[in-house]
């Protein structure tokens, strides 16, 4: 059956266009119930159970299916995802509305409908002859959709009577929170309940009530009647104000250190008011970290300076606003006008960025209370009020909570319990928390993704060798960290007949296995990078590829993408060529094993000769890079030694770097630069490149001041000037000083980012002093490298192109996701190191170690313990202790505590302990032992005392 609608549309040219829209109606669309005599022939895919075995409901004791409306799907998705809830009919009308309103919820509901055990069925009511409804005159789209849902619910109930002859046929229960819609449904003879009524009727599953989203803003007992926050302006007024310049749109970024302060990073090109400071509850006005907000700039007379005060929200009395006002006054310290920054207030929310948050329950002091505060693990997120009957069970557990709303008369947002992750401190639980908090995709690969993997056993075929060179005869080897299974790269070096050297970098040909656009490719692009935690690796690609078929293991044939240079003995490149290849690595070595071969006086085999040739060339290449202005920075990296049974860390050391680390790095950098030039020549608008912006001069202030304090003249106007200044730092009495300066210089750097060449003019990589750069050498663990491989393959005629590869806007969007994923992976890795460091000191007890001052604050010093690569803060003002005399000099910078003055790079001795007083935020606490300051320095009561100064070490730049 065909329905058609005709209407006339006026074109820009002034003509009239007749448009006919056709809508097909069918009578062969199944109801989804297995065993339905009328439509089982049309039933495919996920289906409803013929006799629903749902939890018993006191409202509807007979078997039943659920049919939710759009708002229930949008706001109660946590309930619908619960294993208890099954046999749900999702209407096409509802699904389309959800898709338009919330992409994340739409994805979640699609995942649920594809889970066969849940028995969710998508019914295409808009194309069924008996359930399609046309919009009536004077009826708005929302009312029409409500009516369409009721018509479908009524049809289902009539249809269900035909399934069984007796009266015990399954019912279809309409679930809606819209009271008017519910009343109309009941009038039409449809069984209808609100989500809350139905969930509370499941008496055998009372825990489900905790997962109900709290949607009512008004009249809720847990909120005070006093208005705390200004009203948010409607979206239409916000858009109008932004267009006229009255308001500014930007991303809200809360502070970790001070819950009463935030900044808004303004979108657009307005350099003058790029960053706006917000201080005080009313000015923050219920914005949550990463929300898109509209802000109003305050008059200059009301501008404030960034606060150096650390404030944590620890009050138990949720609505004590007077206490908050007292704290706000502590932010307003005497400041000079130069420190004032553009300040503003949030007038409305353009887009919420709420997500499920991990954290812990702060149980109410009121006995039998169901209302409690939830404290998120992320200190930038406000505490959330939830209602739960499981408080005693959830105490001391890591849980997930979602925000439902934030009324203007409530100090905190309202939310609901979603999931219990496990006990605080448990390694599996804490790992899950840090992965969730840093948005690291870590679910197992789906069947759809795994279906695109090659069938085993796999071997190289004649088809694979087309457009590919056979290099299996070459003496190729790989050099990697111990226990590395995802080997991306291998190297070779041999002398040619003409006396020159041939050097090859061979990279795993991952793009051969991951083809554009399929499910495996989409999942890899979404993940963006492999995430390396202390005891776990979250792969970007399935293990069959990462640790087997793509990994360039020794003595097996593997497909590779090779970059081969002909060089003279002075490491000058004479020729460069790129080819897809087949290789057979002759050895998989660790850095230590490779170094031992190079240093050995007795080993002269082909592999060792190749390594020595590579090492000699690498030293020349490195010297040349440094002479051109490349930076050699330092960042303390640590390695844990774990107990073989408990897997707890038993030792913690900074990683030792050898010549072979630098050797591999030099050739990876050279390959990346060579490939960047090639793909930019061929695709000047569509090359995926990587740049490292030069830091603004203000970033170097702390470094320049530290140099001045040591009577050193530091130039930072170029990378070359900075590199030369760092090289000049020498002190026979203080050999570690140079490393400290390099660590501090690392903190001044900007983040390196991926970009599309057609969307940017600045290609320069500041840290490497290279005019162009990309990532080619790690496709097993970085998706950017896979795209670069595809571009290079097309450039040399080894593969064909596809539309998205030459679409600069899609490439720019991809780069945005990759930059985000890389940043989150970095943060997750740091969080994993922090957690394992806490475990180490928990088992170690109190430790006294020598440290160096990195930064000086108003009431504290930040120190680095080189032995552990551990950084921490020594506070001089503590609760319930007499406050010492403090004098802070911002210009030096220095901090005088009583009669002792601290400067950057001063050597101190600190006591290191694990502070477990706050289960949620256990932290390493450092207190001063030396120099001795009466009333400040603690006694030497350690189990370990170490005074050895570490050897001078250098670490590679994170490029």
Do residues 577 and 683 share a domain? yes
Burial of 668 (0-12, 13-18, 19+ CB in 10 A): buried
Burial of 868 (0-12, 13-18, 19+ CB in 10 A): buried
What's the pLDDT score for residue 585?
Answer: 96
Mean pLDDT over 649-658 rounds to 66
How many C-beta atoms lie closer than 10 Å to residue 545's C-beta? 23
Instruction: Judge whether residue 222 has pLDDT over 50.
Output: no
| DSSP one-letter code for 433 | H
Classify residue 425: in a domain, yes or no.
no
What's the pLDDT score for residue 322?
Answer: 56
Do residues 917 and 781 share a domain? no
Mean pLDDT over 426-431 rounds to 90
Max mean pLDDT among 101-115, 206-220, 942-956 falls in: 101-115
Do residues 207 and 277 share a domain? no
Q: Which of 96, 184, 99, 192 is nearest to 143 (CA)?
A: 184
Alpha-carbon dihedral sign for residues 831, 835, 841, 844? negative
Instruction: Judge whether residue 279 has pLDDT over 80.
Output: yes
What is the tally of structural domains in the chain? 5
How many C-beta atoms lie closer than 10 Å to residue 445's C-beta? 18
Instruction: Judge whether residue 84 has pLDDT over 50.
Output: yes
Q: What is the pLDDT of residues 207-221, one digit of tens each?
A: 888 888 876 544 344
- Coil/strand/helix, residue 689: strand
Mean pLDDT over 808-837 rounds to 92
Residue 922: pLDDT band (50, 70, 90) is confident
Higher local confidence (pLDDT), 959 or 546? 546
Does this model's pTM top 0.85? My answer is: no
Do residues 127 and 255 share a domain? no
Instruction: Judge whether residue 147 has pLDDT over 90.
Output: yes
Residue 311: pLDDT band (50, 70, 90) is low
What's the pLDDT score for residue 288?
Answer: 94
- Coil/strand/helix, residue 906: coil
Q: Which of 28, 61, 32, 68 is nearest to 49 (CA)?
A: 32
The CATH number linked to 246 is 2.40.50.690
What's the pLDDT score for residue 317?
Answer: 47
Higher local confidence (pLDDT), 106 or 868? 106
Do residues 786 and 898 share a domain? no
Residue 61: pLDDT band (50, 70, 90) is confident
Mean pLDDT over 417-444 rounds to 91
Q: What is the pLDDT of residues 339-385, one digit of tens each?
A: 788 899 999 999 998 889 999 998 887 777 788 999 998 889 999 99
Classify residue 218: in a domain, yes or no.
no
Tokens of 739: 């490393």
Residue 504: pLDDT band (50, 70, 90) is very high
Do residues 559 and 627 share a domain? yes
Query: Which of 211, 245, 262 is the endpoint of a domain?
Result: 211
What's the pLDDT score for residue 218?
Answer: 41
Q: What is the pLDDT of residues 21-53, one digit of tens each?
A: 777 888 888 888 877 777 755 555 568 888 787
Tokens of 304: 């404030």
Query: Which of 797, 827, 857 is the endpoint of a domain?
Result: 827
- Coil/strand/helix, residue 612: helix
Classify residue 167: in a domain, yes or no.
yes
Classify residue 326: in a domain, yes or no.
no
Tokens of 605: 């085999």
What's the pLDDT score for residue 652?
Answer: 60
Residue 947: pLDDT band (50, 70, 90) is very low
What's the pLDDT score for residue 48?
Answer: 85
Average pLDDT, the chain: 86
Do residues 744 and 798 share a domain? no
Do residues 701 and 761 share a domain? no
Do residues 541 and 597 share a domain? yes
Q: What is the pLDDT of residues 553-562, one digit of tens each?
A: 999 999 999 9
What's the start-to-end Cα distance of the chain, in Å?
Answer: 62
Mean pLDDT over 246-272 rounds to 85
Residue 611: pLDDT band (50, 70, 90) is very high
Cα 841 from Cα 845, distance rounded (Å): 6
What's the pLDDT score for residue 952?
Answer: 36
Cα 562 from Cα 557, distance rounded (Å): 14
Instruction: Judge whether residue 739 has pLDDT over 80.
Output: yes
Whether the CB-CB separation of 288 and 354 falls below 8 Å is answered with yes
Do residues 859 and 901 share a domain? yes
Classify residue 440: in a domain, yes or no.
no
Classify residue 486: in a domain, yes or no.
yes
Whether the CB-CB separation of 362 and 374 falls below 8 Å is answered with yes
Q: What is the pLDDT of residues 766-822, one digit of tens each?
A: 999 999 999 999 999 999 999 999 999 999 999 999 999 999 999 999 999 999 999
Mean pLDDT over 321-347 rounds to 69
**Boundaries of domain holding 180:** 45-211
Long-range contacts of 38-45 (CB under 8 A, 24+ apart): 38/159, 38/162
Do residues 632 and 557 share a domain? yes
Classify residue 527: in a domain, yes or no.
yes
What's the pLDDT score for residue 27?
Answer: 80
What's the pLDDT score for residue 376?
Answer: 92
Query: Which of 827, 856, 891 is the endpoint of a domain?
Result: 827
What's the pLDDT score for residue 594?
Answer: 95
Do residues 738 and 819 share a domain? no
Mean pLDDT over 612-618 rounds to 96
Classify residue 237: in a domain, yes or no.
yes
What's the pLDDT score for residue 596?
Answer: 94
Element (H, E) at 760: none
Cα 134 from Cα 586, distance rounded (Å): 71
């Amino acid at each position: 059956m065909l329905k058609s609608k005709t209407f006339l549309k006026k074109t820009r040219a002034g003509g009239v266009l007749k448009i006919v829209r056709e809508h097909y109606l069918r009578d062969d669309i199944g109801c989804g119930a297995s065993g339905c005599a009328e439509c089982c022939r049309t039933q495919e895919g996920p289906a409803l159970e013929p006799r629903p075995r749902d939890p018993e409901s006191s409202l509807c004791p007979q078997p039943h299916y659920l049919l939710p409306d759009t708002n229930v799907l949008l706001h109660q998705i946590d309930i619908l995802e619960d294993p208890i809830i099954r046999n749900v009919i999702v209407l096409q009308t509802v699904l389309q509305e959800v898709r338009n309103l919330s992409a994340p919820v739409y994805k979640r509901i699609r995942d649920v409908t594809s889970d066969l055990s849940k028995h969710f069925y998508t019914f295409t009511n808009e194309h069924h002859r008996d359930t399609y409804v046309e919009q009536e005159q004077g009826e708005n789209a929302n009312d029409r959709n409500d009516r369409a849902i009721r018509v479908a619910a009524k049809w289902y109930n009539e249809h269900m009577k035909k399934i069984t002859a007796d009266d015990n046929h399954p019912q279809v229960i309409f679930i809606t929170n819209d009271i008017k819609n519910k009343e109309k449904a009941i009038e039409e003879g449809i069984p209808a309940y609100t989500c809350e009524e139905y969930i509370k009727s499941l008496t055998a599953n009372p825990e489900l009530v905790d997962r109900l989203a709290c949607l009512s803003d008004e009249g809720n007992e847990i909120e005070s009647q006093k208005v705390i926050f200004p009203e948010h302006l409607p979206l239409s007024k916000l858009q109008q104000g932004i267009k006229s310049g009255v308001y500014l749109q930007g991303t809200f970024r809360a502070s970790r250190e001070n819950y009463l302060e935030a900044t808004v990073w303004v979108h657009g090109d307005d350099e003058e008011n790029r960053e706006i400071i917000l201080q005080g509850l009313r000015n923050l006005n219920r914005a949550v970290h990463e929300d898109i907000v509209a802000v109003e700039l305050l008059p200059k007379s009301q501008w404030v300076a960034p606060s150096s005060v650390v404030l944590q929200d620890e009050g138990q009395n949720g609505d004590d606003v007077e206490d908050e006002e007292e704290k706000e006054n502590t932010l307003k310290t005497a400041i000079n006008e130069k420190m004032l920054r553009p300040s503003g207030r949030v007038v409305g929310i353009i887009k919420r960025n709420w997500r499920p948050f991990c954290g812990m329950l702060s149980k109410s002091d009121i006995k039998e209370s169901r209302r409690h505060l939830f404290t998120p693990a992320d200190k930038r997120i406000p505490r959330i009020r939830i209602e739960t009957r499981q408080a005693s069970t959830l105490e001391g557990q890591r849980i997930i909570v979602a925000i439902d709303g934030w009324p203007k008369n409530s100090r905190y947002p309202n939310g609901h319990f979603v999931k219990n992750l496990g006990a605080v401190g448990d390694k599996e639980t804490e790992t899950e928390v840090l992965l969730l908090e840093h948005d690291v995709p870590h679910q197992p690969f789906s069947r759809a993704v795994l279906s695109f993997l090659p069938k085993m056993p796999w071997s190289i075929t004649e088809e694979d060798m087309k457009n590919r060179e056979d290099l299996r005869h070459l003496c190729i080897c790989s050099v990697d960290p111990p226990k590395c299974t995802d080997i991306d790269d291998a190297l070779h070096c041999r002398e040619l007949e003409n006396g020159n050297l041939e050097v090859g970098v061979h990279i795993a040909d991952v793009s051969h296995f991951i083809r554009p656009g399929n499910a495996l490719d989409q999942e890899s692009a979404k993940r963006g990078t492999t995430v390396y935690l202390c005891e776990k690796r979250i792969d970007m690609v399935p293990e069959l590829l990462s640790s087997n078929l793509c990994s360039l293991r020794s003595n097996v044939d593997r497909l590779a993408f090779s970059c081969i240079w002909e060089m003279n003995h002075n490491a000058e490149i004479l020729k460069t060529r790129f080819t897809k290849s087949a290789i057979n690595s002759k050895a998989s070595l660790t850095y230590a094993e490779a170094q031992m071969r190079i240093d050995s006086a007795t080993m002269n085999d082909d592999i060792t000769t190749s390594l020595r040739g590579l090492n000699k060339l690498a030293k020349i290449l490195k010297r040349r890079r440094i002479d051109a202005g490349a930076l050699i920075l330092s960042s303390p990296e640590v390695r844990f030694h774990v107990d073989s049974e408990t897997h707890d860390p038993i030792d913690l050391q900074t990683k030792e770097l050898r010549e072979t680390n630098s050797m591999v790095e030099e050739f990876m950098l050279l390959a990346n630069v060579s490939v960047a030039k090639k793909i930019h020549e061929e695709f000047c608008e569509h090359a995926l490149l990587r740049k490292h912006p030069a830091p603004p001069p203000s970033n170097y202030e702390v470094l320049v001041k530290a140099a001045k304090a040591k009577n050193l003249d530091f130039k930072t106007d170029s990378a070359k000037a900075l590199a030369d200044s760092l090289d000049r730092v020498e002190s026979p009495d203080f050999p570690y000083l140079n490393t400290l300066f390099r660590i501090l210089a690392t903190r001044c750097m900007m983040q390196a980012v991926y970009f599309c060449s057609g969307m940017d003019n600045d290609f320069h990589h500041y840290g490497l002093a290279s005019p162009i750069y990309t990532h080619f050498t790690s496709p097993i663990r970085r998706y950017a490298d896979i795209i670069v491989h595809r571009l290079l393959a097309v450039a040399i005629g080894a593969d064909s192109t596809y539309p998205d590869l030459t679409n600069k806007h899609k490439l720019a969007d991809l780069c945005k996701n990759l930059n985000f994923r890389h940043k989150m992976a970095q943060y997750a890795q740091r969080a994993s190191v922090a957690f394992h460091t806490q475990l180490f000191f928990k088992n170690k007890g109190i430790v006294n170690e020598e440290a160096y001052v990195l930064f000086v604050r108003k009431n504290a010093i930040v120190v680095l313990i080189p032995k552990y690569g551990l950084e921490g803060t020594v506070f001089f003002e503590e609760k319930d202790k007499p406050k010492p005399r403090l004098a802070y000099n911002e210009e030096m910078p220095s901090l005088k505590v009583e009669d002792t003055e601290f400067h950057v790079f001063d050597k101190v001795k600190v006591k290191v302990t694990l502070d477990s007083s706050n289960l949620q935020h256990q932290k390493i606490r450092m207190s001063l032992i030396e120099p001795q300051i009466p009333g400040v320095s603690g006694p030497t009561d350690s189990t370990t005392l170490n005074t050895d100064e570490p050897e001078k070490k250098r670490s590679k730049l994170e490029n």
